[in-house]
Structure 1
Amino acid sequence: MAIAENIKSFQESLALTNTKLIAVSKTKPNEDLLQAYEAGQRHFGENKVQELTHKSETLPKDIKWHMIGHLQRNKVKYIAPFIHLIHAVDSPRLLKEINKQALKNDRVINCLLQVHIAQEETKFGFDERELNEFLKGQEISTLENINIIGLMGMATNTSDNQQVDAEFKHLKGLFTKINTEISLPNVNLEELSMGMTSDYPIACENGSTMVRIGSAIFGSRNYQQ
């Protein structure tokens, strides 16, 4: 019952800022996802392709699946037929592969470009220079089966809220700048995916349109399962 209550609580609070809740269901059993589904949740985020494809085959077909983890190019083909949104597109090579697999499936796949805004070196994503070069280059206009609908970023894992706030502000600034400077048929920035369980209130204050919440909904995870 707690899962349903958590979903309703988040949906009510996020409605005040018109922010979409992505329930991060990685490692969780179908029973837990169904509790969230029955409480009205339709957007679910997974970070492993094998788990994502299995759940998509066995759970209700009106669920909108979000790939939120690092995606390897050789695994795009498995999610291309059904994925709703790919959050963590961190290179032109990955985007080209998504375009290729989308074409094979007669689809246009929505994507977010992941921007490296954190201080940790372990985070993936474009830096600001790479992002500008790619968006202003010639190659992007040839990718007719992808639609870049926004940006995604992960703040530094720190208790320093001022730093987190500054990183989210930076991403929001890039979002606004791109919308002002770039005019392409397949680049239409509407979504800003930033904020997780630990920092989503700061993300919402900075204009996030999607927050990725897992443990605050489903409880802590057992990665040894």
Structure 2
Amino acid sequence: MESLSDHYNALSREIASSGARLVAVTKTHPVEKIRELYELGHRDFGENRVSELVEKYEQLPKDINWHFIGHLQRNKAKHVIPLVSLIHSGDSLRLLRELDKRSDDSRTDVLLQYHIAEEESKYGLTRETGRQLMESVREEPLHHVRIVGVMGMATYTENEEQVAEEFRTLHEIYAELKAAYFEEDPAFTEISMGMSNDYPIALKQGSTLVRIGSRLLGERPQ
């Protein structure tokens, strides 16, 4: 049976060879599992629940780069800001304004989350609402929030061409935003797409951050 070390090394090499970074999604996994990956040199970990993020942050080394990857309610923004290096789920102007207000003198890096899947249950901006958001930010700039890229989740389906097309759409949105709003901004570089079931497709479509849980750590404990 392949050890976590062997599995992690193979997966991280595969992802790095495509120029991307691995975010290990550790929701519901115990801190011991995170420590094991930490000891292997990994630093990017993703959580999608605020309470679990806070609990793990307090128990683990402070040089971990925490990524918040779940839907973020505005009333919980203040709890997340001091803990994370990147918020993947910037899905509304109201949330960005709240993050900006709560960040004080710190800087909060955020990805704009786009809805690219068939499932209506997923959160995210459309091309049009994303454009409206950016026009609002252009008129009234954010002072502490820095938009550094985009994020999206593909439809959960075995149709690989559909998944590839959805990821191509996100890459196109990234390119449109870069040309229209971030041409002079060297920080706008990230395309967060791809999870355990579809990350190889995402890598081919230009992902810079893949969010992998079960493929790396096994099924989540309930």
Describe the SS at the equivalent of 1:142: coil
Aligned pair count reads 221
- Please identify runs of 4+ aligned residues in structure 1 that moved more than 3 A: 138-141, 183-188
C-alpha change, 1:58 and 1:79, in structure 2 (3 Å) is: same
Aligned equivalents of 1:90, 1:130: Cα separation in 2: 10
Cα deviation, residue 101, structure 1: 1.2
Q: What are the residue-to-residue correspondences of 1:132-151 with 2, within 5 Å?
A: 132-138=131-137, 141-151=140-150
Conserved 8 A contact 2:112-2:151: yes
Aligned equivalents of 2:96, 2:39: Cα separation in 1: 34
**One-letter code aligned to 2:111:** L
Aligned equivalents of 2:54, 2:99: Cα separation in 1: 16
The two structures have a TM-score, normalised by structure 1, of 0.94
Q: Deviations over 1:95-154 (max 9, x none)?
A: 111111111xx2110000000000100000001100011112356642110000000000
Aligned equivalents of 2:182, 2:197: Cα separation in 1: 35
Q: Deviations over 1:165-209 (max 9, x none)?
A: 000001101111111111488894200000000000000000000
Residue in structure 1 matched with residue 41 of structure 2 by the alignment = 40
Residue in structure 1 matched with residue 219 of structure 2 by the alignment = 220
C-alpha change, 1:187 and 1:28, in structure 2 (3 Å) is: same
Cα deviation, residue 4, structure 1: 2.3
Structure 2 residue 21 is matched with structure 1 residue 2: no
Residue in structure 2 matched with residue 194 of structure 1 by the alignment = 193
* Unmatched 5+ stretches in structure 2: none
Aligned equivalents of 1:41, 1:183: Cα separation in 2: 30
Q: What are the residue-to-residue correspondences of 1:152-171 with 2, within 5 Å?
A: 152-171=151-170
Conserved 8 A contact 2:182-2:188: no
Aligned equivalents of 1:53, 1:183: Cα separation in 2: 32
Conserved 8 A contact 1:90-1:124: yes
Conserved 8 A contact 2:92-2:133: no
Aligned equivalents of 2:83, 2:198: Cα separation in 1: 30
Residue in structure 2 matched with residue 111 of structure 1 by the alignment = 110
The two structures have a TM-score, normalised by structure 2, of 0.95
- Report the more deviating stretch, 76-85 or 23-32: 76-85
Residue in structure 2 matched with residue 67 of structure 1 by the alignment = 68
Cα RMSD (Å) of the superposition?
1.7
Conserved 8 A contact 1:197-1:215: yes
* Unmatched 5+ stretches in structure 1: none
Conserved 8 A contact 1:175-1:189: no
C-alpha change, 1:155 and 1:82, in structure 2 (3 Å) is: same
Aligned equivalents of 1:93, 1:160: Cα separation in 2: 35
